[in-house]
Structure formats: C-alpha cells, structure tokens
Amino acid sequence: MKQTRRLFIREGLAGAILLGTGNLVVADDVSETVKAKVTRVVNPFHLGMAGFTFSRFDIDITLKTMQRLDLHYLSVKDFHLPLNSTDKQIEDFKDKCASYNVIGYIVGPINMHSEAEVDEAFEYAKRVGVKKIIGVPDVELLPYVDKRVKEYDFNYAIHLHGPDKNVYKDAASVWKFTKDLDPRIGMCLDVGHDFRNGCDPSLDLQKYHTRVFDMHIKDETEASRMGVCTIIGRGLINFPALIRTMRKVNYTGMCSLEYEADKKDPFLGIAESIGYFKALCDTPS
C-alpha cells in the first residue's frame, strides 16, 4: 500500500509540474527529495550555440531562442553578419546581441579559397572584436594562414567535416596538416563529424586537446557516412565520456550546439539537446 501511495504522489507531482499547477503538499520521503539541495558540478568549459543551427532563421529568432535557453555565447555566421558588413552594421549587431545578454565569441566557419579571402576573414574577425576564427582553408593556403596568425595573434580553428570532404575529415586529419604550424592553429572539434568518420571524439579530445580551440556538439545515428544528426542523447555518441574527458584535460573553451536536424523547425530538438547536455554537465563524473 505504501509503495502504491508513493507512486501516486510521484505521478501527481510530475503531472502538476507539467500542467503548471501551484502549491502542492507532499509527504514522506517525497517531500525530503523535493527539499534536497542538488549539488552541481562547476565545469571549466562553457555552453554556446553555433550560428549554423539557425541557418534558416534571422538573428532575432536566434537571440530569442538563446535567451529562453539561458545561453550567452554565439558563434557568428556570415548569414547573420556578412563579411562585408560596415562598422556600423557590426556595432548594431553587437548591440542587439548584448540586449539579449549574448556575445559573439568567435566567427565562422568561413571557407577560404584565396589569400584575399584569408585577409578578409582576419579583418572581419578583428572588426567584430574576436580573436578566434573557425576556418576551412584550402590546404595550400595553410602557410599563408600561419603568417596571418602570427601577425594578428589569433587562434585559428579548422572545422573538420567528416567523411563528406576530402580533407579535414577528423581530428587526426587536421592535426596532420597543422602540427608543424604555429600552435595557435588548431581545430574546431566537431564531435558529430569526427564520430561519422569512425573516430571516438573523447579519445581525440584527449589526444589533441592542446590544439582544440572550439567544439561543435551534436549527436549522430551512425559512426559512418550514413549517420545523420539527431537530438543529443538519442544517438550513439558517448557524451558522459566526452564530458569526463573535457574535465580531465581541463578544456576551457566553448561547446556550441550545432543542431542540423529538422532545419525548418529545430526548436524542440534544440531545447532537448541543450537540456540533456546541461544535465550531464551538472552531474559529477
């Protein structure tokens, strides 16, 4: 009887929360559970949003969504702030972000096929007021990128793209091209694409963490080219292991959700992904 009563109270409590009902009186161990203080982990990393998540939506919807999710860091994409924006347009963009308590912490990914496009990207980042770029340069441009990194004192994170591209498929591929370059040239570790290329993102983060300047988080249905993005927690990537590794290597950068499913209506998937990832971050290893 007591077990049935407790089950009834739990179900009633859950229903009240879902329906928004106020003032509940609970008893026995359930009341103690409700009163118990939850101990949350303090993590060295931060949670943000990759602008590509909102490729079909304007900056206003992007910022309103981030505000509701209590997210404050945005990877700025050029469809929200074009590379040829005037200084006034950039300031207006930054003011709008600030009104939602959001800052653009990095720009990109930006494709670069010529030295002129490299120059444009670095000047763009400087005018936006950030010192990090997510880039996808042609391989033959890497010596020129190296030169610009030294001049601007920026971190340059190459975005890896999994099995869909001929280069920069995974973390090992980016490392191969950058290991002899300036140490400020590294990678944006896209855990989904890394996984789709048959790799373990946790092991790659542990191995290459000194060159991981940004992370894109997403889940995938398969560890192959056939894998597609899904809600975090519903795919096959081991996110508890990934978070443990981030703590182990003291990763202090950003983990930005890049949700690529349901592009026309991604909002429920975004919310569930963020909620799941935040819950894992709050949980001790």
Domain that holds residue 139: 43-282
Mark whether 117 and 222 lie in a shared domain.
yes
Residue 285 confidence (pLDDT): 74
Mark whether 202 and 66 lie in a shared domain.
yes
Mark whether 117 and 213 lie in a shared domain.
yes
Mark whether 63 and 18 lie in a shared domain.
no
Mark whether 151 and 109 lie in a shared domain.
yes
End-to-end distance of the chain based on CA atoms, in angstroms?
36
Mark whether 72 and 198 lie in a shared domain.
yes
Mark whether 154 and 255 lie in a shared domain.
yes
Q: State the average pLDDT over residues 65-78.
A: 98
Mark whether 218 and 261 lie in a shared domain.
yes
Mark whether 6 and 96 lie in a shared domain.
no
Q: Which CATH number does the domain housing residue 243 bear?
A: 3.20.20.150
pLDDT at residue 5 greater than cutoff 70: no
Q: What is the pTM of this model?
A: 0.86
Split into its structural domains, the chain has a count of: 2
Mark whether 58 and 8 lie in a shared domain.
no
For residue range 187-211, list pLDDT tens digits in order: 999 999 999 999 999 999 999 999 9
Q: State the average pLDDT over residues 24-48.
A: 65
For residue range 148-167, list pLDDT tens digits in order: 999 999 999 999 999 998 99
Residue 39 confidence (pLDDT): 74
Mark whether 131 and 91 lie in a shared domain.
yes
Mark whether 73 and 15 lie in a shared domain.
no
